[in-house]
Structure 1
Amino acid sequence: MKTRFILITVWMGISFSLQAQEIVSLEQCYNLAEKNHPLQVKKGLLTQQTDFELGVLEKQKLPQLQLDAQVTYQSDVVSLPFDLPPNMDMSPPNQEQWKTTLTASQLVYNGGLVRLQQDIKKTELKVKKQEIAVSVNQIKTQINQVYFSVLLLNQTQEMLQNTIAQLQKKQVEVEKLIVNGVASASAGDPLQIKILELQQKRIALIANKNQLVEKLGVLIGKKISNNQFVLPEIFISATAKERPEYKLFTLQKNSIDQNDKLLQKKNYP
């Protein structure tokens, strides 16, 4: 009864581990990289800035009001050299003089200058956004390299595990021969050495893969672990096929397909 409980516990743990795995596709990595790239925030700020500048230019078409005020001080003012009759009064002018003017203007036509300035602002925004798109696309190239490297390491790891399992089976057979006196006591040493070498390679491979997965998480702006990476399908236009990235993409996919076929053949009875 105790043994049965242990087996059930182990099986439930394995099932939970498999269910916890999240499938990560190359397209998902692209989308996350675009969404979480720091320059995406800059793109929004550029749009807001351009909208503000376009609004300022648009206001130039509206009537403009300008209020001017001027004050002067006269150190000397004109005065009469004689006295006026008692029934007349003429005060000398004030030494401080004030003048206020309100000017209204309306732009009728300026040769389309405002429209041209607005078009320039819009073009500048498109250029800056395209520069950001180019930067993000360069990130995608790095994602391709890391993603396919992880796929290749996964297949290599599986091949190592299968090879180790086969050698361990042979080791059991050799040990039976040694027990029966058919083989010498040292007959299983070469197999044991080979198994240890492959296990060390497997440990180093897993460490390398973990580093690549961590790097991929940095590129896409999301931490990923215990994930299943899937081989992407290629749907690329004819013009894109002329790009060197497409050739590299195709060669990497072919390499993985060939390794997969090799792995399947090695598992044949």
Structure 2
Amino acid sequence: MKRFTFILIVFASVPMLGQQNISLEECYELATTNYPLAKQSQLFEAQSKLDKAIISNSKLPQFSVDAQATYQSDVIEIPIPNTNIEALNNDQYRATLSVNQLIYNAGATDASIMVRAAQLKTQQKQVEVNLYQLKQNINQLYFSILLSQETQLLLAAKKELLQVKLGEVQSGIKYGVLLPTSDKVLEAELLKLHQQFSEVESNKASLIETLSSIIGKSLGDYTSFENPLLENQLNTNLNRPELQLFQLKKNEIESNEALIAKQNAPKLLGFATGGYGNPGLNMLDNSFQPFYTVGIKLNWNVFDWNSNKKQRESLSITKDIVDTETELFKLNTGIELNQQQQEIAKIESFITSDLEIIDLRKEVLKSADSQLKNGVITASAYITELTNLYEDENTLVTHKTQLQLAKANYNVIKGQ
């Protein structure tokens, strides 16, 4: 059994040529950078920049060109005898260029820009939340691959031990100590091991391919997945991005409230219009002539049937809804953390039992090894005890991996 343990340690410690190492944290970081959803953050930022520029344009002079040609059924006439005032033409023409300049709108433009900035922060945080939710999927894949690695090491150690034992049995057969067919049992077990190797390798390759697609990095068959050292801080403080998202949603609502409060404020504009037409501003001159007007204009919506007030009340209700969503999220997350703590405690108790069982199995196998050498038991009986030990070793490895997975999921749920 010392040889079995030594072989397992050697396989675990000897690096393979061309080996590529990767850690769980690296997988998190790569997914955050390379997953297709991550591109949305930059797209939202570019879109927000354009929207802000559009909003800011309202501070610039606004130009418009108008042209019209009309035919009127009647025109103004001045019925004063002995005057030379010519009647207007029924067909009239006018072309104008107008300029409007916002002078004052109580900061509504800046408030609109603040709303768009708040929307961008919410959108980008939502992307972060969606990417964060990938972590548990990555955990499942990563630790399944780790389990495959550990299983391969166990199988390799078992194979090495069987090959050594096969040599001893064949020597015993040669000298007539053991039955002639004793080695066939060991050879059959080695063939079964080859099948198990193939199955584990196939499953591992599938898991690696899936993980590669999520993190956006090619991982080869010789990639070594580092076993993380995970610790859990058992306190009630949450640091999930969802909580930050809820706060940003409230900030966005508050910025909308500030904008709505300015919508009914007075607006002051300056304007200028220049044109050419027949008639111009002098209605008594029936000819084409240039003209212009300049001035300022005040616009103030003094009564809106309480629409502005109702909009703000609606936003206040939306803010209360966000508060309830926050409390619900904290409640559900607390339940998940408690369940995960129970899972960790359960697996730790399993590991304690596994170690006791393995110690007993080693004693039994040690006795079976001696009995096989002396021809007291058959190779089949020895294989049975060796398989029992392997299965219990595999159960221990599985439970250790499950414990690491449970701890990793606990940290993800908690946001640490």
Check whether TM > 0.5: yes
Contact 2:70 2:93 in 1 (8 A): yes
Counterpart of 1:113 in structure 2 is 108
Write the deviation string for residues 77-107 of structure 1: whole angstroms up to 9, x where unpaired. Answer: 68999xx9xxx98866433222344444333
Displacement after TM superposition at 1:54 (Å): 0.8
Corresponding residue for 2:279? Answer: none
- Work out whether 1:142 is the aligned partner of 2:127: no
- The answer to whether the aligner puts 1:222 opposite 2:220 as a matched pair is no
Please give the alpha-carbon distance, in whole angstroms, between the structure 2 residues aligned to 1:104 and 1:113. 21
- Closer, same or farther: CA 102–235 of 1 in aligned 2, 3 Å: farther
AA at the equivalent of 1:94: N
Alignment match, 1:54: 52
Q: Secondary structure at the match of 1:60?
A: helix
1:37-76 alignment runs, 5 A limit: 37-75=35-73
Aligned to 1:167: 162
The answer as to 2:124 corresponding to 1:132 is: no
Residue in structure 1 matched with residue 310 of structure 2 by the alignment: none
Counterpart in the other structure of 2:205? 210
Cα pair distance change 1:169/1:97, threshold 3 Å: same
Aligned counterpart, 1:22: 20
Other-structure match for 1:4: none
Q: Residues 27 and 215 of structure 2 are in contact (CA less than 8 Å); yes or no, is this contact kept in structure 1?
A: yes
Report the equivalent of 1:95: 90
Distance across 2 between alignment mates of 1:246 and 1:233 = 21
SS in structure 2 opposite 1:20? Answer: coil
- Change in CA separation of 1:142 and 1:127 when aligned onto 2, cut-off 3 Å: same
Are the structure 2 counterparts of residues 78 and 217 from structure 1 closer, same or farther at C-alpha, using a change threshold of 3 Å? closer
- Contact 2:38–2:131 at 8 Å: present in 1 too? no
1:177 and 2:172 aligned: yes
Matched, 1:151 2:146: yes
The SS at the match of 2:104 is coil
Q: Secondary structure at the match of 2:140?
A: helix
Counterpart CA distance in 2 for 1:118 and 1:160 is 63
Native 8 Å contact 1:240 1:246 kept in 2: no
Contact 1:76 1:95 in 2 (8 A): yes
Superposed CA offset, 1:146-189 (max 9, x none): 11111111011101110111111111111101100111112223
Counterpart-to-counterpart distance in 2, 1:148 and 1:58: 51
Q: Percent identity?
A: 32
Compare relative contact order (CA 8 Å, sep 6+) and give the higher one, 1 or 2: 1
- Alpha-carbon offset, residue 216 of structure 1: 0.8
Alpha carbon RMSD of aligned pairs, Å?
A: 3.7
User: Partners in 1 of 2:135 and 2:102 — Cα distance?
Assistant: 49
SS of match in other structure, 1:108: strand
- Give the C-alpha shift of residue 27 in structure 1: 2.2
1:226-241, aligned counterparts within 5 Å?
226-234=222-230, 239=237
Q: Could you say if the C-alpha distance between residues 196 and 97 of structure 1 is closer, same or farther in structure 2, counting changes exceeding 3 Å?
A: same
Preserved CA contact (<8 Å) 1:33 1:219: yes
Q: Assess, with a 3 A threshold, how the Cα gap between structure 1 residues 174 and 73 changes in structure 2: closer, same or farther.
A: same
Task: State the distance in 2 between where 1:153 and 1:245 align.
Answer: 29
Determine the structure 2 residue equivalent to 1:10: none
CA contact (8 A) 1:36 1:221 kept: yes
Say which is worse superposed, 27-36 or 233-242, in terms of deviation. Answer: 233-242
| Cα distance change, pair 245–202 in 1 and its aligned pair in 2 (3 A) | farther
Match of 1:29, as an amino acid? C
- For 1:57 and 1:78, how far apart are their aligned partners in 2? 44
What TM-score comes out, normalization by structure 2 length? Answer: 0.49
Q: Which moved more, 1:168-177 or 1:92-101?
A: 92-101
Q: Does the C-alpha gap of structure 1 residues 19 and 172 become closer, same or farther in structure 2, counting only changes over 3 Å? A: closer
8 Å Cα contact 1:67-1:102 kept in structure 2: yes
Equivalent pairs counted in the alignment come to 238
2:224 match: secondary structure: strand
**CA distance in 2: counterparts of 1:199 and 1:115, whole angstroms:** 71
SS at match of 2:199: helix
Question: Quick one: distance in 2 between partners of 1:236 and 1:101?
Answer: 74
Uncovered stretches (5+) of structure 1, i.e. residues with no partner: 1-16
1:234 deviates by 3.8
**Could you say what secondary structure the match of 1:157 adopts?**
helix
Instruction: Output the amino acid matched with 1:217.
Output: S
Tell me the distance in 1 between the aligned counterparts of 2:92 and 2:179. Answer: 125
